[in-house]
């Protein structure tokens, strides 16, 4: 991307619930170019919907997402 952060927002949601929260945010935003990068292959669900909304509103730097992803991975085993 060769546009400034004030114009283009790039989102990389790690799971489906986060994708839904990101899509909701992007559809409501104005005056931005929103880019959502998502895969088509099945993936693990790391966050429940409440945690995904919190993740999207706070951001990855402030959540300690690594711990939540490890706990979710251990639950599926």
Write a three-state SS string for 9-61. EEECCCCHHHHHHHHHHHHHCCCCEEEECCCCCCCCCCCCHHHHHHHHHHCHH
Point out which residues pair with 35 in neighbouring strands.
10
Give CA angle at 9 (8, 14), nearest 5°: 150
Query: Which pLDDT score is estimated for 6?
Result: 75
Name the residue among 37, 15, 34 with its Cα closest to residue 25. Answer: 34
CA 65 – CA 70 distance, rounded (Å): 9
Grade residue 56 by pLDDT with cuts at 50, 70 and 90.
confident
Query: Which pLDDT score is estimated for 17?
Result: 94
Query: Which pLDDT score is estimated for 42?
Result: 86
Average pLDDT over residues 34-49: 91
Q: Does 5 score more than 80 pLDDT?
A: no
Q: Does 12 score more than 70 pLDDT?
A: yes
CA 65 – CA 59 distance, rounded (Å): 9
Average pLDDT over residues 50-70: 70
């Amino acid at each position: 991307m060769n546009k400034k952060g004030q114009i283009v927002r790039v989102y990389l949601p790690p799971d489906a619930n986060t994708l839904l929260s990101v899509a909701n945010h992007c559809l409501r935003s104005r005056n931005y170019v929103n880019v959502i990068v998502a895969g088509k292959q099945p993936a693990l669900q790391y966050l429940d919907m409440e945690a995904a909304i919190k993740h999207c509103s706070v951001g990855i730097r402030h959540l300690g997402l690594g711990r939540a992803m490890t706990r979710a991975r251990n639950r599926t085993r």
